[in-house]
Structure 1
């Protein structure tokens, strides 16, 4: 009797564990309860810090406010040129490109440059005329290139971003102004350094300290110095782009890698002249906050393998009316997340009480969801571990013939 009661209790516990919406979470210890102070007194009117691996926002101040972003725009121009262009192609400067305002390379109408050289001019010195040459070479016009910029932003989920120019100069059309948000800008940088097939080339360009080139005819001697001072400010700095216009103020987006951790900071409206250094102060403060407070933890919760009833199912040894159950398992063995000490992950199991035959081995029948607050941070499939066929009329006829007329032992068992 005691064994039966114990089995019933264990079965009930496992059943409750696997009910849809069931939450499993560990009680926080006293060590974890200590309060983590977030960055304060930032100069930027909009700022975010994200985990470059998952894209999760670790800190935000007005992260979804739409603002002009100045030359941080050029990270999108650069990545599109890398993905759509050939670095050895020759790009011809137009009259429109030659007429761009400072900061500029000083191209002349009809002058030819290799696309590769123009990308260093774009990202190191932030030349506005170079951006136009690149855009016109890739798409035929700055308007067509802006369409590609907006298409890419939409694919990345940047729904609060609108590009008009390839260089980030303040602009407005019938739809609105040239703008983004700090969150969207960080997402675009994540794509440039982590997800794009040209991420390695993007990083190589943005990490270059000095670069020299001539035009395709060998005329001129152009020298570019990287204006991203953050590369020399903190160990692990790997990329970044500055920006400034009268409407946007000082802007910045940058990335830092420390072992397995990579952080991205995006700042908009971070002061106006004479406060050029505010962006560096804010970037250091946010990166330091990330480095000091976020570590990877394996938050994997073991979910016991369980059985699910399969209706109308049959196996080689089953009998009509026999209750059949199928084994399931969770696809996964670890769940590494970048977390603060005081952040607690909740685990929810979602799986039906019954399945309908036929069921194939490996069928997805549920999921285990890891959430942090209201945000889903990981998900793992629950799959079947065996195959069960469907009981059909032909199977029933075959069963009766094989087991009632031909197999005396099973005939006796059935009659019993």
Structure 2
């Protein structure tokens, strides 16, 4: 009886300490070489299958091309209205394309649109050349960004995803760059467009229809993107995202045998996430959580605001003791820059730290001049008299 009791206790311990995604792996049986389901807000992995295997990504590579494009837009290196001349090299791309002609011009906005909707290789290379001067330099930027994001099983050789034995990405890395792309609000203008059209050619006398390669935007509730890919080498791939209420998920399917399978398996992953998890809002970017006194500044106090949104991921039906701790100094010396780090919000579940978000100054503070210091001194004197 003692041996049996010990066996039951050990079995219970094993059952309750196995990570929750291990059960998902047993239940889902995803038909792909590699797959992953990630919570967008926290980066927590809900499901994984060979997540770090290096695989050919096909056009999923364009997620990085789009990401660098969005960064160039936001730093004003490029503008949506800029006219881009199409090079012979870009016009000569194979695979999925718009059939752009050497010497024609297209706006940056139309290049973004054709990459996100049509997955056009020629548009991808044209955008890369416009941003970096050449695809070769742009590819170096892609790999540098990948390294900065912690994409440790990735190597890009081109901006389009055309087959090359040294061009590979893991499912986990795809999720990382997908989450980074989704942070840019403007990209959402194109990710869920199902149909559009463009005029192409030097004389703009040809109409190219754009039909989104991601059919989930029509078939799956809450879909927000992102990108398909397929070649003989890569099989059928899909990085998908969907949002319902606070919960936003990213699923990655790589190496499926058919296009139908990649969409079915993506929906299976997303269904599992939405059925079993909730996203709890702790705070939103810009929320003021406290004040800090300023010494020798042109203002007396600064507000401490959340640098970014804060969420936690919880299994549905699970009760948890959520606590928050605000760490701020008693005072700070001027000058202080706008968005300068001045403290932290610590989020804990059942006493364990699960998130740490910077608190930043909402305004900049200059050193106080002589008149301001005199007024403050006089005011304090009168108040304390």
Normalising by structure 2, we get a TM-score of 0.69
Q: Which of residues 269, 289, 300 is equivalent to 2:272? A: 289
Residue 74 of structure 1: aligned partner: 62
Residue 89 of structure 1: aligned partner: 82
Structure 2: runs of 5+ lacking an equivalent: 1-12, 73-77, 283-304, 333-341, 359-385
CA 1:73–1:111: 2 relative to 1, 3 Å: same
In 2, Cα distance between the equivalents of 1:298 and 1:130?
A: 39
Residue 136 of structure 1: aligned partner: 129
- The answer to whether the Cα contact below 8 Å between 2:197 and 2:208 also exists between their aligned partners in 1 is yes
- SS of 1:97's partner is helix
In 2, Cα distance between the equivalents of 1:80 and 1:336?
A: 26
CA 1:226–1:348: 2 relative to 1, 3 Å: closer
CA 1:108–1:337: 2 relative to 1, 3 Å: same
In 2, Cα distance between the equivalents of 1:342 and 1:280?
A: 29
Deviates most, 363-372 or 109-118: 363-372
Q: How many residue pairs were aligned?
A: 298
- RMSD over equivalenced CA pairs, Å: 3.5
Query: What per-residue deviation string (whole Å, max 9, x for no partner) do you get for residues 286-316 of structure 1?
Result: 00110010013589xxxxxxxxxxxxxxxxx
- The answer to whether the Cα contact below 8 Å between 1:107 and 1:129 also exists between their aligned partners in 2 is yes
Deviates most, 150-159 or 336-345: 336-345
Please report how far the alpha carbon of residue 220 of structure 1 lies from its aligned counterpart in structure 2 after TM superposition: 2.2
Please report how far the alpha carbon of residue 379 of structure 1 lies from its aligned counterpart in structure 2 after TM superposition: 3.5
Superposition pairs for residues 3-22 of structure 1, below 5 Å?
none
- SS of 1:269's partner is strand
Which of the pair is proportionally richer in strand?
2
Residue 107 of structure 2: aligned partner: 114
Given the alignment of the two structures, is residue 126 of structure 1 paired with residue 119 of structure 2, yes or no? Answer: yes
Q: Which of residues 181, 186, 190 is equivalent to 1:201? A: 186
CA 1:150–1:347: 2 relative to 1, 3 Å: same
Residue 171 of structure 1: aligned partner: 164
Query: What per-residue deviation string (whole Å, max 9, x for no partner) do you get for residues 312-334 of structure 1?
Result: xxxxxxxxxxxxxxxxxxx99xx
Residue 407 of structure 1: aligned partner: none
Please report how far the alpha carbon of residue 260 of structure 1 lies from its aligned counterpart in structure 2 after TM superposition: 0.8
Residue 155 of structure 1: aligned partner: 148
Please report how far the alpha carbon of residue 189 of structure 1 lies from its aligned counterpart in structure 2 after TM superposition: 0.8
In 2, Cα distance between the equivalents of 1:336 and 1:224?
A: 36
In 1, Cα distance between the equivalents of 2:61 and 2:82?
A: 23
Deviates most, 239-248 or 96-105: 96-105
Please report how far the alpha carbon of residue 338 of structure 1 lies from its aligned counterpart in structure 2 after TM superposition: 1.1
CA 1:48–1:342: 2 relative to 1, 3 Å: farther
- SS of 1:277's partner is helix
Given the alignment of the two structures, is residue 361 of structure 1 paired with residue 330 of structure 2, yes or no? Answer: yes
- SS of 2:243's partner is strand
Residue 57 of structure 1: aligned partner: 45
- SS of 1:49's partner is strand
In 1, Cα distance between the equivalents of 2:32 and 2:70?
A: 30
Please report how far the alpha carbon of residue 243 of structure 1 lies from its aligned counterpart in structure 2 after TM superposition: 0.3
Please report how far the alpha carbon of residue 345 of structure 1 lies from its aligned counterpart in structure 2 after TM superposition: 7.1
CA 1:239–1:366: 2 relative to 1, 3 Å: closer
Given the alignment of the two structures, is residue 378 of structure 1 paired with residue 364 of structure 2, yes or no? Answer: no
CA 1:370–1:102: 2 relative to 1, 3 Å: same
Residue 280 of structure 1: aligned partner: 263
- The answer to whether the Cα contact below 8 Å between 1:371 and 1:378 also exists between their aligned partners in 2 is no
- SS of 2:28's partner is coil
Residue 237 of structure 1: aligned partner: 223
Normalising by structure 1, we get a TM-score of 0.64
Structure 1: runs of 5+ lacking an equivalent: 1-27, 300-330, 351-359, 382-416
Residue 192 of structure 1: aligned partner: 181
Superposition pairs for residues 207-286 of structure 1, below 5 Å?
207-215=192-200, 217-271=203-257, 275-286=258-269
Of the two, which has the highest radius of gyration? 1
- The answer to whether the Cα contact below 8 Å between 1:210 and 1:223 also exists between their aligned partners in 2 is yes
CA 1:344–1:103: 2 relative to 1, 3 Å: same
CA 1:210–1:346: 2 relative to 1, 3 Å: same
Please report how far the alpha carbon of residue 40 of structure 1 lies from its aligned counterpart in structure 2 after TM superposition: 2.3
Residue 378 of structure 2: aligned partner: none
CA 1:379–1:136: 2 relative to 1, 3 Å: closer
Query: What per-residue deviation string (whole Å, max 9, x for no partner) do you get for residues 121-152 of structure 1?
Result: 11211111221111111111111111111122
Please report how far the alpha carbon of residue 228 of structure 1 lies from its aligned counterpart in structure 2 after TM superposition: 0.8
Q: Which has the higher contact order (CA 8 A, sep 6+)?
A: 1
